[in-house]
Structure 1
Amino acid sequence: MKLSLYLKWFVFFALTCLLTGNLNAQIQPAGTQASLVEWHYTIRPKDNIWTLGEAFLNSAHNWEDIIRHNKINDPKTLTSGTVLKIPVDWLKHQPEPAIAASVTGNTMVRRHLESHFSHLSKNSELRVGDEINTYDGSVLIRFADSSILRLAPNSQLVFNRLTRYGKTGMADTRLRLQKGRLSTHVTPLNGRGSRYEINTPSAVAAVRGTAFRLLVNDQSTQLEVTEGTVLFSNNARSLELDMGQGTILNSGTSRATIIDLPKALKPRSVISNTQQLPVTFSWRKQPNITTYYYQLFKDSDQGELLDSSFLATPEITLNHLTNGTYLVAMRAVDSQGFNGIDHHVSLVIGMIAKPATLLGPANNLFIDNDLPEFTWQYNSKNELSQLEIAKDFAFTELISTSEFAPDNTAIPTHELLPGEYYWRVKTLAGGESIAYSDIRRLKIRGMMPPATIISVNYIDNQAKIFWNTVPQAEHYILQLAEDLEFKKILHENTLEKSNVSIKLTKNKRYFARVKAVGNELFKSEFSTGKELIIK
C-alpha cells in the first residue's frame, strides 16, 4: 500500500512539474531517502558560493558542504547557469505567519498555548498552533507564498505548520480543518520541498498549485476541485481529482465515488459598469438544480467577502453599495450538496451625485420657529443627504450639520437663535461623489426678553418709572391708561432710555406698561400693567 501511494505521488508530482514548467524541482531516484530531497539553484551573475551558503544554509551546514555534495573541485570555476543541488534539510527553516486579510462577523482566535479565545481583527498575524473559530463570521487568510484560504461561518481551523525555506521561495503549509467549510487557492509551489496540505478528521487534501473547497462533517470530508488537481486520501483510499470533480471520503472506508460538479452557470444579463443602483444580475437555471449560491466580493474573489446566501433562483439585486470594483459569483448546488463551478461577473460602480432640489422653507422667509423643518427632493436614486446650516453664505461658519441619511427632511441639530442663516443640502452617492444644492437664506424670528417695570418714584405730581434694560432693544414703548385692560390709552411714548417721568393728576389711578422693540428678527410683548397713583 505504501508503494502504491508513493507511485501515485511520483506520477502526480511529475505531471505537475511538466504542466507548470518547474524544472528546478526534480524527483529523486527510487530509494532516495527523504532527507536527501534536493532543491536546485541556478547560479546567477555576481553569485559566489560563500554568499550562497550564508543566504540559504542553516547553522549546521556551510558552503563547503555544497561543494562536497556537488563534487566541485574548484569553487572558482562556478559560472552563471551552473545548477547546484542542495538537500532541503540543509536549508534555513523560518516560520512565516499568515495574515487575516479580512475578517467579518464574530470570528475568534485562540493563540498557541493560550486557553481562551479572543476576537480576531483584520491584519492580525496567525502562527503555528493558533486556532480560529468563525461562528457567524468569516475570515480570508493570506499565506506568505500568496496562497489564500477563505474560512466559512461555523468552521474551525488549526495552523499546524507555516514554514518558508529561507530565501528559496519554497513553503511548507499544513492546516487542520476540524469542522466547517473552506475554499482555497494555492499558489503553484516552488521546489520539491514545498507542500500545501489540509488535514481533516477523515481525509487529507494535498496540492501543488490549484483551487478547491472542503466541507467537513462529523464522519466525512467533501472535496470540490475548481482548478488544477488535488490528491485526496485517507487511511484506506487515495484519489486524484481534477477540475470540475468532487467526492466524499468517510473515516476508515475506501468507498468513494468521483462525481462531476455542476457546470458554470450561463448568464442571462451581465452588467459590467453602472452609474446607478439598484442593479440586477441573473443566470439561466440548470436542469434538476433547485439551489444556487451567491457571493459578493470587494475587488476580486481574493478580496473581502461582503455578502453571501443560498437562493432558489440564480438572480440577485445589488443595492446600497459604494463606488468601486466588485466581483459577483453565482454557482449551482446539486441535490447531494456539491457546489459547482462559479460564474464570475466583475462590476464597476461609479455613481455620480446630483444636486437636490430644495422645497422648503422658501428663500428669504421669516420663520417664528427655532426648530423649523427643512425638505428637499432627490434627483437620483440611492443617494444620501445631509442638511447644512451656516451663519455665512460661504458656509465657513457651520452651526448645524445632520448625519448622512436617505431622508428628504431634517430639522436643525439644536434650536436656532433669532438671526439670519443660510442652508443647503449635500448629497452623497457611491460613498465619494458629492453634490450641493442651491443656497437659501432664512431668517429666524424670536421673542425678545420682556421689559418689566421694576420701580416707580413719586415727586410732587410726577411719577418717574424705571424698567429693566433689554440688550436687543432698539427703543421702548411706554403706554399710560386709565384701566388695567388698556382699552383707553391716555398716553404713549417712544423712548430710547429705560426710564421716563410722567405728570399725573393727584388721587387718580393710572396704569402703565412697557415693551422693548428690536429689529425685524424679534417680536415683543407689553409687560403687565403697573398701577400708579399720587396722593
Structure 2
Amino acid sequence: MGYWNRFFVLIFISAGGILFAQDFGTFWEVNGTVEIRSPDGTWVRAGPGDRIEKATLISSGFKSSAVISLGDSIVMLRPLTRLSLEEILQNKEGEAISLSLQTGRIRAEVSPPSGGRTDFTIRSPSAVASVRGTSFEFDTVNLRVLHGQVLYSRINGTQVPVAGGEMSYVDEIEGRVVSPFEAAAENLSLPHPMGSGSGLRGNTRDISPGTGTVGIEFAWD
C-alpha cells in the first residue's frame, strides 16, 4: 500500500475511532529519523504509538516524515520540519489544538469531533492561520482556501476571513494581509499550484492543490 493510501486510511479511521478524550497526540507512522523532546527532557527517537504531550518539540530529519493524530485531526510532518505542540484540549464541547511551526512543512486534515467543533491554529514567526474544520493550502505568505473558511492574519494583526475558492497573501511591504477581493483583482489565478508561476507573492514553494481529504499545507523556512 502506498504512503498516501495509508495516510488516507488513517484519516478515515480517525473520523470515528476516537471514543474518549485525550489531551495528548499520538504517532501513527514514523519514517526515517524523527525525534521528540519534552520541556524538561532530552531528544529521543520517536516511534509509532508514542505519545506527544503539550509543549513537546518534534523534529524530522532528512528524508524523514511522520503522521500524528491530534484529537480528530491528522498532521503529517515533511522532512526537515520542527514543530511544537503548544496546546491540545478536549472536552464535551469540542477540541482546541495549537501548533507552532518553526521550520519546514506540515500537512493536515482538520476535522471536528462528532457533535463538537475544532479550533485549530498554526503559528509561524510572522503569520497565523486559524481554521474550524476546513481545507486550505498555505506556504508561509500565500493562502488558498479549498472549502470552508480560514481566518488569516499577521502576528497580532487583524483577521481577514478567506472563504472557499478565494485566496490571500501577506503584503510584507505594507505589513498587512491582502483581502480576497484585492487578490482577485490582481489576477492571482487559483488553478495553478502555488510557487509554480501563479503570480503569488513572497518566498513561495511548489505546493500542489489538495484533493480528497487533504486539508492544510503550511510551510516556514
TM above 0.5, yes or no, is yes
The aligned residue for residue 11 of structure 2 is: none
Task: Report how far residue 184 of structure 1 moved.
Answer: 1.4
For the pair 1:172 / 2:96, whether they are aligned, the reply is: yes
In the alignment, the residues of structure 2 paired with residue 107 and residue 225 of structure 1 have an alpha-carbon distance, to the nearest angstrom, of 30
The aligned residue for residue 159 of structure 2 is: 238
Q: 1:128 aligns with which of 54, 62, 65?
A: 54
Contact 2:24 2:51 in 1 (8 A): yes
In the alignment, the residues of structure 2 paired with residue 159 and residue 153 of structure 1 have an alpha-carbon distance, to the nearest angstrom, of 17
Contact 2:168 2:177 in 1 (8 A): no
Contact 1:184 1:213 in 2 (8 A): no
Task: Report how far residue 343 of structure 1 moved.
Answer: 5.4
Q: Deviations over 1:119-143 (max 9, x none)?
A: 1111211110101111221111112
Change over 3 Å in CA distance of 1:332–1:205 after alignment to 2: closer
Structure 1: gaps (5+ residues): 1-93, 264-330, 345-535
In the alignment, the residues of structure 2 paired with residue 255 and residue 162 of structure 1 have an alpha-carbon distance, to the nearest angstrom, of 27
Structure 2: gaps (5+ residues): 1-20, 213-221
Q: Which has the higher contact order (CA 8 A, sep 6+)?
A: 2
For the pair 1:141 / 2:63, whether they are aligned, the reply is: no
The structure that has the greater radius of gyration is 1
Task: Report how far residue 338 of structure 1 moved.
Answer: 5.7
- Which SS does the other structure have where 1:153 is aligned? coil
Change over 3 Å in CA distance of 1:223–1:105 after alignment to 2: farther
In the alignment, the residues of structure 2 paired with residue 135 and residue 182 of structure 1 have an alpha-carbon distance, to the nearest angstrom, of 13
The aligned residue for residue 341 of structure 1 is: 209
The aligned residue for residue 261 of structure 1 is: 190
Change over 3 Å in CA distance of 1:124–1:173 after alignment to 2: same
- Which SS does the other structure have where 1:188 is aligned? coil
The aligned residue for residue 206 of structure 1 is: 130
- Which SS does the other structure have where 1:176 is aligned? strand
Contact 1:184 1:212 in 2 (8 A): no
Task: Give the letter aligned to residue 182 of structure 1.
Answer: I
State the number of aligned residues: 175
Q: Which runs of 4+ in 1 moved over 4 A?
A: 189-192
Q: Deviations over 1:206-248 (max 9, x none)?
A: 11111233334xxxx4434333211111233422223344443
In the alignment, the residues of structure 2 paired with residue 233 and residue 179 of structure 1 have an alpha-carbon distance, to the nearest angstrom, of 19
Contact 1:177 1:200 in 2 (8 A): yes
The aligned residue for residue 5 of structure 2 is: none
In the alignment, the residues of structure 1 paired with residue 194 and residue 138 of structure 2 have an alpha-carbon distance, to the nearest angstrom, of 16
In the alignment, the residues of structure 2 paired with residue 343 and residue 158 of structure 1 have an alpha-carbon distance, to the nearest angstrom, of 26
The correspondence of residues 304-383 of structure 1 with structure 2, limited to 5 A, is 334-335=196-197, 336=200, 337=205, 339-342=207-210
Contact 1:183 1:214 in 2 (8 A): no
Task: Give the letter aligned to residue 111 of structure 2.
Answer: T
Identity %: 23
Q: Deviations over 1:220-277 (max 9, x none)?
A: x4434333211111233422223344443367811536444326xxxxxxxxxxxxxx
The correspondence of residues 87-98 of structure 1 with structure 2, limited to 5 A, is 96-98=23-25
Task: Give the letter aligned to residue 112 of structure 1.
Answer: P
In the alignment, the residues of structure 1 paired with residue 125 and residue 104 of structure 2 have an alpha-carbon distance, to the nearest angstrom, of 11
Change over 3 Å in CA distance of 1:127–1:343 after alignment to 2: closer
Task: Report how far residue 191 of structure 1 moved.
Answer: 4.3
- Which SS does the other structure have where 2:176 is aligned? coil
Contact 2:94 2:112 in 1 (8 A): no
In the alignment, the residues of structure 2 paired with residue 152 and residue 131 of structure 1 have an alpha-carbon distance, to the nearest angstrom, of 15
Change over 3 Å in CA distance of 1:207–1:249 after alignment to 2: same
